[in-house]
Amino acid sequence: MEIAEALSAFGFWAIIAFLTWLFILQVLFRVIRHWRHFPVPAFVVQLIDNPVRRRFIQNPDVVADRVGLAPGMRVVEIGPGKGSYTLTFARRVMLSGIVYACDIQQPIVDRLRERARKESINNVDARMEDAHAFSFTDNSIDRVIAMSCLPEIPEPAKVLLECRRILRPGGLICLAEILPDPDYPFRGTEKRWAAEAGLEYSQEFGNFFVYQINFRKPITA
């Protein structure tokens, strides 16, 4: 009994220590990035993009269902990271659809291309793109998806305005966020950015710690 109680107490304090560490990490990154903007470090990406998250917390298939991915769609994913979500999205829009995985870092683009090749997924176009000035034409994209990356980009409302330009009328943009991302924004913040960009609120899912919000380009735009 004493051993069981000791293990239970250890588990409790281990959770407290972990949550404290996450809080300190949040504060530290927010303070530093307030004065100097830089991409999220690789170790934080590894922490955020992990099998537990993808299976139980922010499942790629669930995200795809909630944003209504279907065969033949043209999809832009901003900040694909390791491509764990990208490849699921690409499978959903096969065979005639395509996912444009857009990033500003060439190594990420190169790694994603290689991963897609190894998994024989031919409808991923990993490319370098500026989210403030996409190379896509007006009204040419069905869905835009940003998994825990929009707040990393300077002037996110302008990014959403550019997303609105490339989306077809009625097209959706999905914004998904999760703690312990050091750039995690409140839902109200992303709703304000979307309103500034002229996007309409569509639907939201999740809770305080992990959520997904879909916004729609007005049909009359």
pLDDT digits (tens, 9 = 90+) for 96-107: 999 999 999 999
Q: Is residue 54's pLDDT more than 60?
A: no
Q: Give domain status of residue 157, yes or no.
A: yes
Residues 69 and 143 in one domain: yes
Residue from 88, 78, 161 nearest 126 by CA:
78
Residues 119 and 77 in one domain: yes
Q: Is residue 188's pLDDT more than 60?
A: yes
* DSSP SS3 for 30: helix
Q: Is residue 2's pLDDT more than 90?
A: no
Q: Give domain status of residue 120, yes or no.
A: yes
* DSSP SS3 for 212: strand
Whole-prediction pTM: 0.80
Domain count for the chain? 2
pLDDT digits over 170-179, tens only? 999 999 998 8
pLDDT score of 92: 97
d(CA 214, CA 145): 9
Matching residue, tokens 């955020």: 48
Q: Give domain status of residue 64, yes or no.
A: yes
Residues 15 and 89 in one domain: no
Lowest mean pLDDT among 43-47, 64-68, 185-189: 43-47
Query: What is the pLDDT averaged over residues 18-47?
Result: 56
Q: Give domain status of residue 124, yes or no.
A: yes
3-state secondary structure 132-157: CCCCCCCCCEEEEEEECCHHHCCCHH
d(CA 47, CA 53): 9
Q: Is residue 45's pLDDT more than 90?
A: no
Q: Give domain status of residue 221, yes or no.
A: no
Given its phi and psi angles, is residue 74 left (phi above 0), alpha (psi -120 to 50 degrees) or beta?
beta
Which position has the higher pLDDT, 3 or 208?
A: 208
Output phi, psi for 128, to 5 deg: -80, 130
What's 208's DSSP letter? Answer: S
Q: Is residue 189's pLDDT more than 90?
A: yes
Residues 122 and 54 in one domain: yes
Residues 17 and 59 in one domain: no
pLDDT score of 58: 76
Residues 7 and 48 in one domain: no
Residues 52 and 114 in one domain: yes
Which position has the higher pLDDT, 7 or 143?
A: 143
Q: Give domain status of residue 135, yes or no.
A: yes
d(CA 67, CA 200): 14
Q: Give domain status of residue 136, yes or no.
A: yes
pLDDT score of 98: 98
pLDDT score of 136: 98
Compute the mean pLDDT over every residue in the chain, rounded to the nearest whole number: 85
Residue from 199, 197, 201, 145 nearest 176 by CA:
145
User: 182 pLDDT band (50/70/90 cuts)?
Assistant: confident
Residues 32 and 45 in one domain: no
pLDDT over 90 percentage in the chain:
67
pLDDT score of 183: 84
Residues 7 and 64 in one domain: no
Q: Is residue 55's pLDDT more than 60?
A: no
pLDDT score of 82: 87
Query: What is the pLDDT averaged over residues 98-121?
Result: 95
Residues 21 and 69 in one domain: no
Domain boundaries, position 14? 1-36
Residues 48 and 118 in one domain: yes
d(CA 109, CA 125): 9
Query: What is the pLDDT averaged over residues 7-31?
Result: 60
What's 167's DSSP letter? Answer: E
d(CA 165, CA 175): 17
- DSSP for 81-110, written as a single string: TTSTTHHHHHHHHTTT-EEEEEES-HHHHH
Output phi, psi for 70, to 5 deg: -145, 160
Q: Is residue 121's pLDDT more than 60?
A: yes
Residues 56 and 164 in one domain: yes
